[in-house]
Structure 1
Amino acid sequence: MELKTHEVAKELGMAPRTVRKWVQKYEIPCRKNDYGHYVYDEEALARLETLKASGEVAGAMDVAFGTDIKEVQVENMSARNEDGKALEHRLQILTERVSRTERMVQQKADEVVSYQLLQQRKEIEELTKKVDRLEKMLDQMQTPIKKIEPPLIFDQPPQQKRRNVFRSIFGL
């Protein structure tokens, strides 16, 4: 029986990341497949179950994120007196990380809003220019057009009549 990391994590009720960290930290023998993913046999599973049950890692705080549920699950929080300080320190670190992440998200949101405002301002300026051009065209169309009267025949200089070429040669 060979299991993948997410299957082992589901069976043990912990995060896949925690399982991988324990394999590395406690040097649990398991092989990797062609893609470099851990493959667990029964012996590795038994060692992981033993580690979870032992007091060696009982005070550790593991955070697992459910795929469907967006809630953070905190496991193995049975802390002793001496582990209380370590737990408080970890909690403080997590709190700082959450507040830093919130600041980053707020900053990113501000940047997005600023960009959108600049884009909208640019679009408004372009539309304003188009409206101005249309108003000018409309004004030109509304101005009365002066009627251009055709010139009178008498206003033109008289054209010389051409004589027929044959008449001029023969004198007729």
Structure 2
Amino acid sequence: MGKKSWKTREIAKAIHVNPSTVQRWIKYFNLAYNVNSNGHFEIPNETYKQLKVIYAEMKQGKKMSDVCLLGGDKEQAKSKKVTMIPTTQVEKKMEELLSQLDHIERKVRNKADDVVEYQILHQRKEINELNQVITQLSARINTLEDQLVSNTTPSTRPLRETSGKKRRLSSIFSF
């Protein structure tokens, strides 16, 4: 098989897997490949050989994390795959994240307080405007009451009204 490069579909047929499986293995094991102008994988011979090894080991029932590509040196393969992060580094990152979270919570609380303060000020302004309207209406009512009282004095207003018959009778007998 002296080809310069393979297509994903060709390798998939050769090792009896789905083309998407070939792409997944290439990405998982960080194997060499090129992408042509149409976006298709072009796979070199060396990668094809590595994919055949992966297929053989997967066929034996191994997990992808247990597949060894470094010529059988399992210790070197494990040391390459397993990287432990020191606890102090993880704790430091957690403290940074918690600090950022506290900072964000404070900002949210401040923003909420600002919103409530704005609403209260706006409501206070509306209350003041309503108080002014009430004061104006009260003054207007007082003015109208004063005008009503001044237009109707006790001398011009009759104490009791008498009917027209009684007046005629009283005028006849008053002579």
- TM (normalized to structure 2)? 0.46
Q: Which structure has the bigger radius of gyration?
A: 2
- TM (normalized to structure 1)? 0.47
Q: Which has the higher helix share?
A: 2
